[in-house]
């Protein structure tokens, strides 16, 4: 892939806050961004152009792609056919393999195992009979997750005992799922890996991630020693996954730190909420490094800009506290421009860098 020079147009599939922050980073490097999505969103506020279209509209996707020099995506709940429609006219990075794998829980676990990783005990579930057999094999407690389109705790049903089986199956409405055994862990963390078109890769210091109600609440670096001791093995797995997929851009892999080493949870072929701290907390943000990677540019340093960094998500009504955050000397406030406040909705984040 040749270098995409500044002044070119980068297409982004998806109009959410990740697209917004990608577009801001791209603009700082001299690129224009063109958003494609079924509806407007935070990314449209800062982009040079917006095309409203369905992800299954091949003709509209083709017209969009012809106006761009490269196309990327901000989330993985897109049909691979959308990638194909755009890729017929312009490079799409990351490619189809990354999207197809990360968008399906069973496929990503299979690949992790193939690359020497260790996910939680799991079984693929396509019917009630398969669910019952998987539950008998794994036991409880366990968690039933839809194979696709689950995020921020959605599409999941926890099973404390066999008595919860009927309710769990009803909750996923008979969709294809994976059943996972629960893992005893001390911490959750992620590896944010960036891989360039030349195959070179670099990782950020692993953040310690804390969740509340299934939604990321805080990410902080440096991580506790228990994470630091396992980060090398986790980063090595992320590197093998990226190489196997031929991935270009940011690849995020989430892990549990356990007494027996890192347990792979899931991956995302994109910039990630657990990397928002990098905007002020790293020399080069995850968003800028993704733009650099997909445009064939040298990758930037992932070193910290301070002694410690903490990112806190502003979820729902948390965002109403923005005046106080603006008055806080060392707080860096990011609001996503969402007008409707809803419980569980990510409205923004705040990052604090300790020098």
21 by DSSP, 3-state: which? helix
Is the pLDDT confidence value at 21 over 80?
Answer: yes
Average pLDDT over the chain reads: 95
Alpha-carbon distance 135 to 109, whole Å?
18
Burial per residue of 36-50, b for 16 or more beta-carbon CB atoms within 10 angstroms, e otherwise: bbeeebbbbebbeeb
Say which residue the tokens 């020497």 belong to. Answer: 116
Q: Give the H or E element holding residue 230.
A: helix 225-245
Cα–Cα distances (Å) from 187 to 88, 241, 255, 354, in that order, read 43, 22, 9, 22
Is the pLDDT confidence value at 174 over 90?
Answer: no
Beta strands in 122-274 (DSSP E): 122-125, 142-146, 156-159, 177-181, 187-195, 201-203, 208-212, 215-221, 249-258, 261-268
Alpha-carbon distance 45 to 336, whole Å?
9
The CA-based diameter of the chain, rounded to the nearest angstrom, is: 60
CATH of domain 187-354: 3.30.470.20
pLDDT of residue 50: 98
Is the pLDDT confidence value at 154 over 80?
Answer: no
Q: Which residues contact 18 (CB under 8 A, 6 or more apart)?
A: 43, 74, 75, 270, 271
pLDDT of residue 153: 61
Domains 9-92 and 121-181 agree in fold: no
CATH of 9-92, one of 3.40.50.20, 3.90.1150.10, 2.60.40.420, 3.40.50.1860: 3.40.50.20
Segment 2-25 mean pLDDT? 97
For residue 191, what are the β-bridge partners?
253
Residue 214: band (very low, low, confident or very high) from pLDDT cuts 50, 70, 90: confident
CATH of domain 121-181: 3.30.1490.20
Give the predicted TM-score (pTM) of the model. Answer: 0.95
pLDDT tens for residues 23-82? Answer: 999 999 999 999 999 999 999 999 999 999 999 999 999 999 999 999 999 999 898 999
Say which residue the tokens 């260790």 belong to. Answer: 118
| Among 155, 127, 124, 121, residue whose Cα is nearest residue 141 | 121
Q: Give the H or E element holding residue 322.
A: helix 322-327
pLDDT tens for residues 77-102? Answer: 898 999 999 999 999 999 999 999 99
Indicate the domain borders of the chain: 9-92, 121-181, 187-354
Beta strands in 172-213 (DSSP E): 177-181, 187-195, 201-203, 208-212
Residue 149: band (very low, low, confident or very high) from pLDDT cuts 50, 70, 90: confident
pLDDT of residue 148: 87
pLDDT of residue 93: 97
pLDDT tens for residues 222-277? Answer: 999 999 999 999 999 999 999 999 999 999 999 999 999 999 999 999 999 999 99
């Amino acid at each position: 892939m040749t270098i995409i020079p500044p002044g070119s147009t980068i297409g982004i599939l998806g109009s959410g806050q990740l697209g917004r922050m990608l577009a801001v980073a791209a603009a700082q490097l001299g690129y224009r961004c063109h958003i494609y999505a079924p509806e407007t969103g935070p990314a449209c506020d800062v982009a040079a152009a917006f095309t409203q279209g369905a992800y299954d509209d091949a003709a509209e996707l083709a017209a969009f792609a012809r106006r761009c020099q490269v196309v990327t995506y901000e989330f993985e709940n897109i049909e691979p056919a959308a990638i194909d429609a755009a890729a017929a006219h312009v490079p799409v990075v990351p490619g189809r393999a990354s999207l197809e794998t990360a968008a399906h829980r069973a496929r990503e676990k299979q690949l992790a195992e193939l690359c020497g990783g260790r996910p939680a005990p799991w079984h693929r579930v396509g019917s009630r009979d398969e669910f019952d057999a998987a539950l008998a094999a794994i036991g409880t407690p366990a968690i039933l997750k839809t194979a696709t389109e689950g995020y921020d705790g959605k599409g999941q049903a926890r099973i404390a005992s066999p008595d919860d089986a009927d309710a769990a199956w009803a909750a996923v409405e008979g969709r294809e799922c994976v059943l996972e055994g629960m893992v005893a862990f001390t911490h959750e963390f992620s590896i944010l890996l960036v891989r360039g078109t030349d195959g070179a890769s670099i990782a950020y210091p692993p953040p310690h991630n804390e969740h509340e109600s299934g939604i990321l609440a805080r990410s902080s670096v440096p991580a506790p020693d228990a994470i630091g001791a396992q980060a090398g093995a986790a980063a090595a797995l992320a590197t093998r996954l990226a190489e196997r997929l031929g991935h270009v851009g940011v690849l995020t892999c989430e892990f549990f730190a356990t007494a027996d080493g890192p347990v792979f949870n899931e991956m995302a072929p994109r910039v990630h909420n657990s990397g928002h701290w990098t905007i002020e907390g790293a020399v080069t943000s995850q968003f800028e490094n993704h733009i650099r990677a997909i445009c064939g540019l040298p990758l930037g340093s992932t070193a910290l800009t301070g002694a410690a960094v903490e990112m806190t998500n502003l979820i729902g009504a948390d965002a109403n506290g923005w005046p106080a955050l603006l008055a806080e000397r060392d707080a860096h406030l990011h609001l996503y421009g969402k007008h409707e406040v809803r419980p569980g909705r990510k409205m923004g984040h705040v990052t604090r860098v300790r020098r």
